[in-house]
Amino acid sequence: MLLKDQVALVTGGSRGIGKAIVQALAREGAKVAFVYRGSQQAAEELEKEITAAGGTTKAWQADVSDPEAAKRVVGGVMADWGRVDILVNNAGVIRDGLFIRMDPENWKTVLNTNLDGTFYFCRAVAEQMALRQRSGRIINVSSVAADHVNAGQTNYAASKGAVNAFTRALAVELGSRSVTVNAVAPGFIETDMSEAVRNKAGDFIAKKLVPLRRLGKPEDIAGVVVFLAGPAGAYVTGQVITVDGGLSLGAVTA
């Protein structure tokens, strides 16, 4: 087990990529707190599953876009387990729509969740990691959409591009305290979020645009998160690691 007795906190852990990250960290021996917003039943099932397998976990209901939520959750994790070794900012949303008609509410929701949420949680753990522990791993889940954009995603691309820039800037500040900060940028992953696009073009994307000839699975992302959180990732910081089966290489298979 790579992460025995470490304490991890994962946002958006009830479904999709976040759920796979929670499972993978728990399998490596970490105690895992995770945040969900609405999916209480899914969260409880995940708690049961991990506990049954001998792991330690706790679900926290919170909206990451609420400035107070991160303080409350991180305070709770500290009270439970006394430290935070790994933070994974995974909670994210899309509100796709062409820019000409974009509702400012949809701009705000995406930026507040994907970018501000990441800021709040980093802010809530930074002093603990940098000054008290002098160690920590922060992993932000970004997207290839930060650099390889689809129509209808101005809000989403802006949020993920900002997460990448923020990741690099924070890595510079916290480096001297042995806190690493990295991002993982998934391509097309099979989750609820990508369902609409997959239904429309999943086969085409997998067969024509992805050199590895398949869509990604949440586990494909979780594996890289475990790498960044574990001993093998100790000397990696400020990087955005693309995990997309080669999609962003831009090749079209003939």
Partner 1 sequence: MPTEQEIFEKVRTTLVDALNVDDDEVKLQSRLRGDLNAESIDFLDIVFRLEKQFGVKIPREELFPESIFQGDPNFVTDGKVNEGGLKELQERMPFADLSDFRKDPRLEKMEDLFTVELIVNYLKKKLGG
Give the nearer residue to partner 1 in terms of CB position, either 91 or 130: 130
Number of Cβ atoms within 10 Å of the Cβ of 213: 12
> Applying CB under 6 A, which of residues 6, 113, 155, 167 lies at the interface with ligand NAP?
113
User: Any idea how long the chain is?
Assistant: 254
**Following CA atoms 249, 192, 140, 45 in sequence, which dihedral angle do they give, to the nearest 10 degrees?**
-140
Cα angle 218, 222, 224 (rounded to 5 degrees) comes to: 125
By the rule CB under 8 A, 169 interacts with partner 1 = no
Instruction: Give dist(CA 86, CA 135) in Å, integer.
Output: 9
Binding residue for ligand NAP, selected from 32, 88, 189, 224, defined by CB under 6 A: 189
Task: Examine the residue annotation and report whether 156 is marked as an active-site residue of this protein.
Answer: yes
- In the bound state with partner 1, the residue whose beta carbon lies nearer, of 179 and 193, is 179
Least CB distance to partner 1 at residue 87 (A)? 18
- Using CA atoms, how far apart are residues 201 and 192, in angstroms rounded to an integer? 15
Residue 138 is a binding residue for partner 1 (CB under 8 A) = no
Binds partner 1 by CB under 8 A, chosen from 5, 44, 80, 127: 127
Instruction: Report the partner that residue 177 touches, choosing among partner 1, ligand NAP, none (CB closer than 5 to 8 A by kind).
Output: partner 1
Q: How many CA atoms lie within 13 A of 243 on its CB side?
A: 22
Among residues 3, 62, 84, 130, the one that binds partner 1 under rule CB under 8 A = 130
